[in-house]
Amino acid sequence: MIASMLLNEATLLWGWLLYGPILLYAMWRAPWLELFSDSRRQHLLFGTVLVLCALWLLRRDFPSGLSFHFIGMTAVTLLLDWPLAILAGFIAQLALLILGKQDLSALGINGLLLIMIPVVIAHWCAKTIERRQPENLFMYIFFSGFFPAALTAVVCVIGGIALLWGNAIYEFQPWLEDFFAMVVLVAFPEAFINGMAVTALVVFKPEWLETFNYSRYLQAPWKDDRDS
Q: Is residue 19 part of a domain?
A: yes
Cα angle, residue 181 at apex, residues 178 and 182 outer, rounded to 5°: 85
Residue 110: its pLDDT value, please? 93
Q: Longest C-alpha distance within the chain, in Å? A: 73
Model-level pTM? 0.88
What residue numbers bound the domain in which 107 lies?
4-219
Give yes or no for a contact between 156 and 114, defined as CB atoms under 8 angstroms apart. Answer: yes
Burial class (CB in 10 A: 0-12, 13-18, 19+), 52: buried
At 228, the pLDDT band (50, 70, 90 cuts) reads very low
Burial class (CB in 10 A: 0-12, 13-18, 19+), 132: exposed
Instruction: Specify the amino acid at residue 5.
Output: M
CATH number of 64's domain: 1.10.1760.20
> Residue 72 — left, alpha, or beta (φ > 0 → left; ψ -120 to 50 → alpha)?
left
Q: What residues have CB less than 8 Å from 213, skipping those under 6 apart?
A: 130
Give yes or no for a contact between 13 and 106, defined as CB atoms under 8 angstroms apart. Answer: no
Q: Is residue 226 part of a domain?
A: no
**Greater pLDDT, 16 or 161:** 16
Is 170 a residue whose pLDDT tops 70? Answer: no
At 169, the pLDDT band (50, 70, 90 cuts) reads low
N- to C-terminal Cα distance for the chain? 59
**Predicted confidence (pLDDT) per residue in 202-227, tens digit:** 889 888 888 887 777 766 454 444 44
Mean of the pLDDT values across residues 25-38?
92
Query: Residues in the chain, how many?
Result: 228
| Alpha-carbon span 50 to 54, nearest angstrom | 6
What is the domain count for the chain? 1
Q: Is residue 227 part of a domain?
A: no
Residue 220: its pLDDT value, please? 46
Cα angle, residue 76 at apex, residues 70 and 81 outer, rounded to 5°: 150
Residue 226: its pLDDT value, please? 45
From residue 77, alpha-carbon distances to 38, 68, 118 in Å are 18, 21, 8
